[in-house]
Structures are given as C-alpha cells and as structure tokens.
Amino acid sequence: MDVRVQGPGPAAPFLGARDLFETEYDLARPVRVRVREDPDERTWTGHHDDHHTLNISRQAATSAMARELALHEYAHMRRHEAGHPSHTQSTEEALYLALAGKSVERRRLTHCYQIANHMKDIYADDITLSVGPPDKLVAFLESSLARALADAPGRPPGGVSLPADPAADPEITAVNAAFALAMVERHDLVGSDHRLYDLAAAAAEDAPGVDLDRFRRRFRSLADDPDTSEYRKALVDATRDYAAGGGSAAAD
C-alpha cells in the first residue's frame, strides 16, 4: 500500500495507520496525503482513476487523533474501491427520490446530507474498528456530542459545560447522538451506563420532534453487505423520515 505525505506535517500518523490497515486490508491505488496549513480544512477523501487523495489540515495531522483519522479515511477508500453501495450511491439521486414534490427548508436539506454521510461512516468504521482500537473513537464521539449540547438553546444550569459550538442545531445533534449510539452498539464498544447514553438523552430532550431511537435503530441495523437497491431504499427512507419531520413518531 503506497502512502505518500505532502505538505507541512508529520508522516508518522499516516504510515502508522497504513501499517494497521494492512493487517487485514489493502488498497489497489496509491494514497496521496495533502497536509494543508488552513486549520479549518476538513479531513476529506477524493477518489481518482489512478490514486486517492487524503486532504487534512496541519492541525488535525498533528493531533492525537491523526492516526485514527487516517485509518478512517483509508477505510472509505477501501469501500470505494470495492464498489460498496454506500460509497457509489449518489446522495443527490437519493435525495431527489426521497424529496420529489416536497418543499424542504435549506437547513433540513443540509441535515439530510449529514445523514447520508453518517451512513457512509458506519460502513467505513466497520472496517476501521476491525483493525484499530476503539478507545479514541468512543472518546471522540462523546466529546463531539458534549460540545454540541453545550450550545443547545435552554440548556439548564448544571448541564454539559464545555465550549459552545455555534454550528450546533438541536435536531441534527439528536441525529448525531443516534449515530454515536448506533456505532458503539453495532460493535459492542461500551456498557449501558456509559456517558454517551446520558448525552443522547439530553439531545433527545432538546429535539422532541426527532425520534432519536428510531434513527439509532436505522443506523445500527444497516445490512453488512447490501445490494444497490437495498442501500438506496435505506438512504431514501431515512432521508424521507427526517425531511418529513425529523423521524418523529408522527411520521410513521
């Protein structure tokens, strides 16, 4: 597996992730890691005919999560090379099928894209968690959810007291909480007394129009090896549920 790092960042996390990944998997195409100076650069993967690109900020590349981020992106590359429906299905097509003839506010449409990304991430992390330790992923899910909750409108005194996230939105935070629970339950990573469950309960209270448990079950029960039609239906159904009212019981 050919991994080459370009830019002002360390190579060790990406090579370490490669070594972990190669214990079970491989990539046919080489990987070009591009480390950017922009601290706001999101970690994302591009796929090309003759290589993959992993774009990452220098801040992320030098963080404690750098190896795990790289491993996660290698897993996306593997899913893409294997033609897994989660990574070949057009999100735009699924949204068109789900929302044709409906009027959907821009905020909620953006959230539908996030739901599609969560479904991709579940399949990528099925690979990630088969080769790497889960501790940092669980801690990342917990801290991300706690930060989002800190900015929830009407958060009572004594609630989560971490720096506010101005981008937090109670409805998508509830979906993100469902995703976090689905991930840890799908791989049996934590016990029922883990703090994630308390955070998810708080997220559900902040977004009563979102059926958190419904989304948790949807994410957790995604088939390991769906065909194209099965995956498209799962994505369309999840999108339609959320757009219709957050997947609330009234939408059933």
**Interval 195-246: pLDDT, tens:** 999 999 999 999 999 999 999 999 999 999 999 999 999 999 999 999 876 5
Q: What pLDDT is stored for residue 106 in this prediction?
A: 87
For residue 174, pLDDT beyond 50: yes
The residues near 48 (Cβ < 8 Å, ≥ 6 apart) are 29
- Residues 235, 94 contacting (CB under 8 angstroms): yes
- Residues 243, 102 contacting (CB under 8 angstroms): yes
Is beta strand 3-6 parallel, antiparallel or unpaired with respect to 52-57?
A: unpaired
Torsion sign (Cα): 150, 214, 220, 226? negative
Confidence class of residue 247 from pLDDT cuts 50, 70 and 90? Answer: low
DSSP type of residue 44:
E
Backbone angles phi and psi of 52, in degrees to 5: -110, 155
Alpha-carbon distances, residue 249 vs 77, 139, 244 (angstroms): 36, 30, 11
For residue 175, pLDDT beyond 70: yes
The whole-number average pLDDT for the span 109-116 is: 93
Q: What pLDDT is stored for residue 222 in this prediction?
A: 97
For residue 61, pLDDT beyond 90: yes
Here the tokens at position 77 are: 């590359």
What value, to the nearest 5°, has the Cα angle with vertex 133 and ends 135 and 140? Answer: 35
Q: What pLDDT is stored for residue 102 in this prediction?
A: 82
Partners of 56 in the beta sheet? 35
Q: What is the pLDDT of residues 131-164, one digit of tens each?
A: 999 999 999 999 999 999 986 655 443 333 333 3
For 27-38, letters b (16+ CB in 10 Å) and e give: bebebbbbbbee
Q: What pLDDT is stored for residue 249 in this prediction?
A: 43
Of 184, 182, 178, 191, the residue nearest 220 (C-alpha): 182
Is beta strand 3-6 parallel, antiparallel or unpaired with respect to 44-47?
A: unpaired
CA contacts within 13 A on the Cβ side of 10? 15
Q: What pLDDT is stored for residue 158 in this prediction?
A: 39
- Residues 132, 68 contacting (CB under 8 angstroms): yes
Mean pLDDT of the chain: 89
DSSP type of residue 230:
H
Confidence class of residue 24 from pLDDT cuts 50, 70 and 90? Answer: very high
